[in-house]
Chain A
């Protein structure tokens, strides 16, 4: 298949591996930030082909996984309203809150629907005028423009029964927070391709300037990831860290200017709470005052919900790369994809789910 087969070519893989083996003289900890990269690495078996001294660490790039427990619980509270239709991406359905999950609430008779785009949620709002439609806006820079476009449409059409619960987050500030924590050593970042399609290279520059850690924006096919690893090793060898684009067939250095403009029009940047990482300044998106009427949190004055993370669950440390899933006492024992305890076991992008599925 065009644009797929050529990136899964055994000969190219072999050639890239040869060069990686040649350059991997020292121990290197490389973080693949994005959950989709984690999936490719496991699905294609790249992890078992690399030299032993290259460790791939899964990062905080699974939107469902980094959503704070408090936010999950508040979404669940929003869902317990007969007037409300919750619209959400499929991944969120099974994430356990303190007491329940959206899937269980759906079983209890509340109206919770999977959508593939926020625009679909807006369509439901147009059709079901006597219901309140809430879209759970969970995601990174990739999904933010479509949510922004949707909010703008709702504003223009004066749609009164639509709102979003906004948990949108920004990736580069979280990468900086990981480096500032000093809990793990990261020698290079395999940066998310989809996110970078929107934001370009600029937001990663601080990482290189302050921490001298190479950043390579990578595609999602096996040869993409191997080439990105090679590009990081080359930068290490030449001691010349920078932000490089491996995924040049899609990513422009300046990003997608229209999408960036849309995000800026609708959202302000604000601090956000991340599971595992805590509060990170400048890492979240909040609706601008002009669009506050679409803020579900404000619309449905939510009472304080008591939240607690599952006992012994290591999702937080796993998201920071401090622990690997098998180091969690729950992994594979009481926590598995059938009965997930933490969000990293739920999402297909989650590190625990990938480890369980392909390595357990």
Chain B
């Protein structure tokens, strides 16, 4: 089989998923070439590898639309998302599996771009893609491409990082501006008649987390505020640990462009998804140290202490508003829909 360059017209056909010649060619040309590593290239039915120690395992599926957006694409997102889930447990990500479900008619060039993005993100994160699957479905059975990734990470710390481990007096720290990812997707999806340069924050957080773990052995919980935003994640933690927390609206880092988009659409940025943010719960005395480590890291320049855990038993999240009043922050309910007028 000669190496083939795919043209703009080349589309994924049902035959590409049939297990036959076309599939083997596609795997060889695109997948194996980009994901090079000995475990994958053994091409057995299952990947064989050896790990010693305590492991973390996670899986996630990615269905973002549009596939490419400022700051990322579905490929990068599918690696960052899984790596971040491992990172929130303090694990060092090691191996990842990637499965794609693609609709027939999907341009092969676009697939190549996505696979390259997956490979680059994985390479930069120092994880190997060691297994995967590739299915093609009829045009109407799926919208363009769905990706599932699973990841295994190694846990070397001895902390009890858990949503139910948050204590009264804990500081709540975030590593930067909120809502960038969702705002970027929203503005890429629809033209609101405004020029928008909002970039998604899509990034792998494991290195930042390792830096934090190096300087503090008293961290109680780490959580990435993805779907449902900071508001929903804080509520999940409040419920799991039965604690009340107070967030200072004034301390919440928000980009001006994101705030402007939110004001325009009548949307609350604390409900917007993030893909490169971590909420850290730690005792007050550790906060300053962690904050300065974050601020030195490229993914934590805008880090801030956004609030504190104030009391036990009543699970709720309160917001001290900019004008000095206090209100409840609920979990996200339903879908955020732009208002009429």
Q: Which residues of A contact B (CB under 8 A)?
A: 1, 4, 8-10, 13-14, 35-36, 39, 42-46, 48-49, 63-64, 89-91, 93-94, 114, 116-117, 138-140, 142-143, 194-195, 222-223, 336-338, 347-349, 356-360
Contact = CB atoms under 8 A, between A and B. Distances in A.
A4 B328 contact: no
Contact of B340 (A39, A45, A48, A91): A91
Interface in B309-333: 321-328, 330, 333
A63 B338 contact: no
Interface size class of B (residues with CB under 8 A): 20 to 34
Contact of A46 (B193, B259, B266, B325): B325
A294 to B, nearest CB: 20
B322 A44 contact: yes
A36 B330 contact: no
Given A42-B327, A91-B337, A356-B330, 16 more contacts: A9-B323, A35-B339, A44-B325, A46-B323, A48-B326, A49-B323, A49-B324, A64-B340, A90-B338, A91-B338, A114-B337, A336-B333, A338-B334, A349-B266, A360-B328, A360-B330
Interface of B is mostly: loop
A139 B341 contact: yes
Most buried by A among B322, B323, B327: B323
Contacts of B266: 36, 39, 348-349
A10 B339 contact: no
Nearest to A91: B340
24 contacts: A1-B259, A1-B260, A10-B322, A36-B339, A36-B341, A42-B327, A43-B268, A44-B323, A45-B321, A45-B327, A46-B325, A49-B323, A89-B340, A91-B340, A94-B334, A116-B190, A116-B338, A117-B193, A139-B341, A143-B341, A336-B333, A337-B333, A357-B333, A358-B330
Given A1-B256, A358-B330, A360-B330, A13 B323 contact: yes
Contacts of B334: 94, 337-338
Contacts of A338: 333-334
B330 A357 contact: yes
B318 to A, nearest CB: 10
Contacts of A356: 330, 333
B138 interface: no
Given A4-B263, A338-B333, A357-B333, A91 B339 contact: yes
Interface of B: 190, 192-193, 256, 259-260, 263, 266, 268, 321-328, 330, 333-334, 336-341
B327 A43 contact: yes
B337 A8 contact: no
Contacts of B333: 336-338, 356-357
A39 B341 CA distance: 12
A223 B327 CA distance: 17
A337 B268 CA distance: 16
Nearest to B338: A90
Nearest to B265: A116
B337 A45 contact: no
A189 to B, nearest CB: 18
A117 B194 CA distance: 13
A8 B252 CA distance: 15
Contact of A90 (B259, B327, B337): B337
B327 A358 contact: yes
Nearest to B333: A337
A63 B325 contact: no
Contacts of B192: 116
B326 A45 contact: yes
A42 B190 CA distance: 29
A48 to B, nearest CB: 5
A1 B190 CA distance: 24
Nearest to B324: A10
Contacts of B321: 43-45, 222
